[in-house]
Amino acid sequence: MKIHPEGYLVILVAFLLLAGLNVLVYRLCPNLWVTVGLGFPSLVLFLLVVWFFRNPDRSLVPCAGKVYAPADGKIVAIEEVDEPEYFRDRRIKVSVFMSPLNVHVNRYPVGGEITFVKYHPGKYLVAWHPKSSLLNERSTVVVKTESGREVLFRQIAGRVARRIVMYSKTGERAVQGSDCGFIRFGSRVDVFLPLDAKITVKEGEKSVGNRTVIAVFE
């Protein structure tokens, strides 16, 4: 199992803290039952931290006519909305909510030129709150495909998620399906599509990054 680089330091710190705690307790109370009673949950907690930063191989052959899910999770919203930050017009928004148990690697839903990148500090409302996309900490990226269509996707922090990592830079090339960022430890990714995009998922469905096609361009 591959571990995402964003997890290296967190995993190391978790190991040192848990190992140090167990050694300290053993020195103060060298009792087998105390050692097992603390050691087992410590191991489970450590494995959960490692599991959170897993990065499964999701390689794909880029396809210009498809929009892939940028994250694992659940489709919580499909709606026509006003997008006020970049397009300033009507778009179809597809929202993917990630629980702490989902893979938290974010991937480019389409490929092309990165035309816009902006980070916004903000609040930490629960990720499914209607105004979280406007008030929470978030980052916005726009990719212009070879056909000239622009797709905007936005990482949104939640009440638990307190760190957004985005690798995109304006002017660079986005490779469809490659890693574009990471969010700790929950939250949401919104994808804003042209009105003529054909949505291929439904609310309530589970999405798998680089596997679930959320829309196609005809």
Full 3-state SS string of the chain? CCECHHHHHHHHHHHHHHHHHHHHHHHHCCCHHHHHHHHHHHHHHHHHHHHHCECCCCCCCCCCCEEECCCCEEEEEEEEEEECCCCCEEEEEEEEEECCCCCCEEECCCCEEEEEEEEECCECCCCCCCCHHHHECEEEEEEECCCCCEEEEEEECCCCCCEEEECCCCCCEECCCCEEEEEECCEEEEEEECCCCEECCCCCCEECCCCCEEEECC
Catalytic residues: 187
pLDDT of the residue at 162: 56
Same domain, 33 and 119: no
Indicate the number of domains in the chain.
2
Per-residue pLDDT reduced to its tens digit, 59-105:
888 888 999 999 999 999 999 999 999 999 999 999 999 888 888 88
pLDDT of the residue at 198: 96
CA distances from residue 115 to 61, 172, 173 in whole angstroms, order as listed: 23, 8, 9
Per-residue pLDDT reduced to its tens digit, 131-186:
556 667 889 999 999 989 999 999 987 655 457 888 899 999 999 999 888 887 66
| pLDDT mean across residues, the chain | 87
pLDDT of the residue at 108: 94
Domain presence at residue 59 = no
Domain presence at residue 120 = yes
> 3's torsion region: left (phi>0), alpha (psi -120 to 50) or beta?
beta
pLDDT of the residue at 135: 63
pLDDT of the residue at 185: 62
Alpha-carbon distance 140 to 166, whole Å? 9
pLDDT of the residue at 200: 97
Longest Cα separation, the chain: 68
Count of CB atoms situated within 10 Å of the CB of 151 = 25
Same domain, 85 and 108: yes
Query: What is the residue range of 99's domain?
Result: 66-216
Alpha-carbon distance 78 to 108, whole Å? 19
Highest mean pLDDT among 21-30, 182-191, 194-203: 194-203
**Model pTM score:** 0.83
pLDDT of the residue at 35: 73
Residue 126 has pLDDT above 70, yes or no: no
Domain presence at residue 57 = no
Here the CATH number for the domain that contains residue 97 is 2.70.70
Q: pLDDT above 90 covers what percent of the chain? A: 50
Same domain, 149 and 43: no
pLDDT of the residue at 75: 95
Q: Mark which of 52, 75, 91 sits at the end of a domain.
A: 52
Confidence category of residue 191, pLDDT binned at 50, 70, 90? very high
pLDDT of the residue at 129: 54
